[in-house]
């Protein structure tokens, strides 16, 4: 059967077909990416894309909410359950918006925030110079120790005592170790600051009980829904009941109009999936895979920031290999191994051409890959690094990568064959 999309817009249809093929052919190692299940994909691409619902369940500014209220309430209750939180807001369009909503819920413009510096593994919205967050708020970033690659909680406490920020942000986008959210909570209490914990990267590990949850130690917890948590792309805020009103108001009407209900529907499904023994096994395997990949990369002489990993993510410092992160990421991409170049702590090189490469195991774990496949992947990465200027060798690695990839199921795997649709120009 020819799909409506194929009939109406063959150009977009063709491009989507190519992207599906790319996603199923490649070994995807970007730590913030994953594959959603068919059920999540169906829910996200549902008729809810047609609906406006400004406000919250029971208090909407548009009629016709007989079903939407039930769906959003389900998403809220599921989020509260799996994160053991007093309140959840599932409307943020993204993690960035969720973070900005958290600031505006508790802070005044000009207040000071203290988050991990972008080039040391923090997120843009944690007060980076490049982000609006540093224009609305004074930002005093903390760093990881450039030698150990780890957070130094004593130094963070000293910095907090010196600057007395109104909010301390825990959480990272390129930190391979478990973060002690309890200590962050204690530091925040000592200096009278709020504690926002951004668990976008490790939310799935937190739900599975592999990493300690920040929920008891933070005023607000923010997360995206699409990384280890394996939902569609959106943001979730969790908080104590005392901040519920402020958080809800900050999201709507503070920052957003109508919520994306098709996304919230997909999030609801993903949260149900996360509340299963299968999800816990998947999350455990993510970490096992990352550790094994890290061990093998170490054997090949790669320097890893902090010497390894406790989570889903590995940060390679390539300086001893004499290759820049960007060059290696591009060569790997040509071989069908998809990563991203990244700064390393204390990087002398700029973010546009940094010294590091960031890898993660959520997507390959979703496809069912385990430790033996991590050995193979490490070997392929090493081959590309050793042959960085040899296109023929990189093409050979590409064949091996495709062979490995073809042995593992992709949840939303369907490459729709092109039809001979001669009724479309
Ligand atoms: N979420 C970030 C990442 O880690 O890829 C980018 O915002």
| pLDDT tens sequence across 22-72 | 999 999 999 999 999 989 999 999 999 999 999 999 999 999 999 999 999
User: Which residues have any ligand 1 atom within 6 Å of their CB?
Assistant: 32, 123, 173, 200
CA of 173 from ligand 1 middle (Å) equals 6
Q: Which ligand 1 atom lies nearest to the CA of residue 123?
A: 7
Q: Which of 33, 54, 86, 375 is catalytic?
A: 54
Cβ contacts of 368-372, under 8 Å, gap ≥ 24: 368/408, 368/409, 369/289, 369/408, 370/285, 370/288, 370/289, 371/288, 371/289, 371/292
As a whole number, mean pLDDT of residues 102-114 equals: 98
Report yes or no: 197 and 238 within 8 Å, Cβ to Cβ. Answer: no
pTM: 0.95
Which domains, ranges and CATH numbers included, belong to the chain? 41-274 (3.40.640.10), 277-411 (3.90.1150.10)
Pocket test of ligand 1: the residue of 29, 32, 100, 126 to mutate, having most ligand atoms within 8 Å of its CB, is 32
CA 268 from centre of chain: 18
DSSP string for 188-254 = HHHHT-EEEEE-TTTHHHHHTTSS--SGGG-SEEEEESSSTT--SS-EEEEE-GGGHHHHHHIIIII
As a whole number, mean pLDDT of residues 363-380 equals: 97
pLDDT of 414 > 50? The answer is no
Q: Which ligand 1 atom lies nearest to the CA of residue 174?
A: 4
Q: Which of 78, 166, 177, 227 is catalytic?
A: 227
pLDDT of 189 > 80? The answer is yes
Q: Two tokens at 410?
A: 């992709």
CA of 302 from ligand 1 middle (Å) equals 23
Active site residue 52: yes
Report yes or no: 109 and 299 within 8 Å, Cβ to Cβ. Answer: no
Residue among 151, 184, 182, 154 at smallest CA distance from 170: 184
CA-CA distance, 377 to 316, in Å (whole number)?
14
Q: Which ligand 1 atom lies nearest to the CA of residue 96?
A: 7
pLDDT the model gives residue 23: 93
Strand pairing of 235-239 and 87-89?
antiparallel
CA angle (200, 219, 216) in 5-degree steps: 80
- What pairs with residue 110 in β-bridges? none
pLDDT of 305 > 50? The answer is yes
Residue among 204, 359, 178, 203 at smallest CA distance from 281: 204
As a whole number, mean pLDDT of residues 371-383 equals: 98
Active site residue 291: no
pLDDT the model gives residue 410: 86
Look-up of token digits 């902090």: 306
3-state SS record for 2-27: CCHHHHHCHHHHHHHHHHHHHHHHCE
For 403, which DSSP code? Answer: H
Residue among 110, 39, 96 at smallest CA distance from 274: 39
pLDDT the model gives residue 1: 64
pLDDT the model gives residue 149: 97
Whose Cα sits closest to atom 4 in ligand 1? Answer: 173
CA-CA distance, 311 to 300, in Å (whole number)?
21
Q: Which of 119, 224, 228, 361 is catalytic?
A: 224
Q: Which ligand 1 atom lies nearest to the CA of residue 227?
A: 1
Pocket test of ligand 1: the residue of 128, 133, 200, 356 to mutate, having most ligand atoms within 8 Å of its CB, is 200
Whose Cα sits closest to atom 7 in ligand 1? Answer: 123
Look-up of token digits 């739900």: 207
Report yes or no: 153 and 116 within 8 Å, Cβ to Cβ. Answer: no
Q: Which of 34-43, 137-146, 184-193 has the lowest mean pLDDT?
A: 34-43
Contact residues for 225 (Cβ-Cβ < 8 A; gap 6+)? 203, 231, 232, 233, 234, 235, 236, 263, 267, 270
SS3 350: coil
Active site residue 56: no
Whose Cα sits closest to atom 2 in ligand 1? Answer: 173
CA-CA distance, 217 to 329, in Å (whole number)?
37
CA of 32 from ligand 1 middle (Å) equals 6
Active site residue 233: yes
Q: Which ligand 1 atom lies nearest to the CA of residue 224?
A: 1
Q: Which ligand 1 atom lies nearest to the CA of residue 124?
A: 7
CA-CA distance, 134 to 147, in Å (whole number)?
27
| pLDDT tens-place string over residues 229-286 | 999 999 999 999 999 999 999 999 999 999 999 999 999 999 999 999 999 999 999 9
CA of 423 from ligand 1 middle (Å) equals 42
Pocket test of ligand 1: the residue of 96, 120, 173 to mutate, having most ligand atoms within 8 Å of its CB, is 173
Report yes or no: 164 and 193 within 8 Å, Cβ to Cβ. Answer: yes
**ω into 226 cis (within 30 of 0):** no
């Amino acid at each position: 059967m020819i799909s409506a999309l194929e009939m109406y817009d063959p150009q977009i249809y063709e491009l989507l077909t190519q992207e599906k093929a790319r996603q199923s052919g490649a070994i995807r190692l970007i730590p913030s990416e994953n594959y959603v299940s068919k059920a999540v994909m169906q829910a996200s691409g549902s008729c809810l894309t047609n609906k406006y619902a400004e406000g919250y369940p029971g208090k909407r500014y548009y009629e016709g909410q007989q079903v939407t209220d039930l769906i959003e309430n389900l998403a809220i209750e599921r989020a509260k359950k799996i994160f053991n939180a007093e309140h959840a807001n599932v409307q943020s369009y993204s993690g960035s918006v969720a973070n900005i909503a958290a600031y505006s819920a508790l802070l005044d413009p000009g207040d000071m925030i203290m988050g991990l510096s972008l080039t040391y593994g923090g997120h843009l919205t944690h007060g980076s110079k490049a982000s609006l967050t540093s224009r609305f708020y004074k930002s005093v970033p903390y760093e990881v120790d450039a030698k150990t690659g780890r957070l130094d909680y004593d130094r963070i406490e000293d910095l907090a005592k010196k600057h007395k920020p109104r909010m301390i942000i825990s959480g990272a986008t390129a930190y391979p170790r478990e973060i002690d959210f309890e200590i962050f909570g204690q530091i925040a209490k000592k200096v009278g600051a709020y504690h926002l914990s951004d668990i976008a990267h490790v939310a799935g590990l937190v739900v599975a009980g592999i990493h300690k949850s920040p929920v008891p130690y933070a005023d607000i917890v923010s997360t995206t829904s699409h990384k280890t948590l394996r939902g569609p792309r959106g943001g979730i805020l969790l908080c104590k009941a005392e901040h519920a009103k402020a958080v809800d108001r900050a999201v709507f009407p503070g920052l957003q109009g109508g919520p994306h209900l098709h996304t919230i529907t997909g999030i609801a499904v993903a949260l149900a999936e996360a509340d299963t023994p299968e999800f816990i096994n998947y999350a455990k395997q993510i970490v096992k895979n990352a550790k094994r990949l890290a061990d093998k990369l170490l054997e090949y002489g790669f320097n890893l920031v902090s010497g390894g990993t406790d989570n889903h993510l590995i940060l390679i410092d390539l300086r001893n290999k004499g290759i820049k992160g960007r060059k290696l990421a591009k060569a790997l991409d040509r071989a069908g191994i998809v990563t991203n170049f990244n700064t390393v702590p204390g990087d002398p090189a700029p973010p546009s051409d940094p010294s590091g490469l960031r890898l993660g195991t959520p997507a390959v774990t979703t496809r069912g890959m385990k430790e033996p496949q991590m050995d193979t992947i490490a070997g392929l990465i090493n081959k590309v690094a050793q042959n960085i200027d040899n296109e023929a060798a990189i093409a050979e690695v590409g064949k091996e990568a495709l062979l490995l990839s073809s042995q593992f199921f992709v949840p939303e795997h369907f490459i729709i064959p092109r039809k001979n649709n001669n009724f479309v120009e």
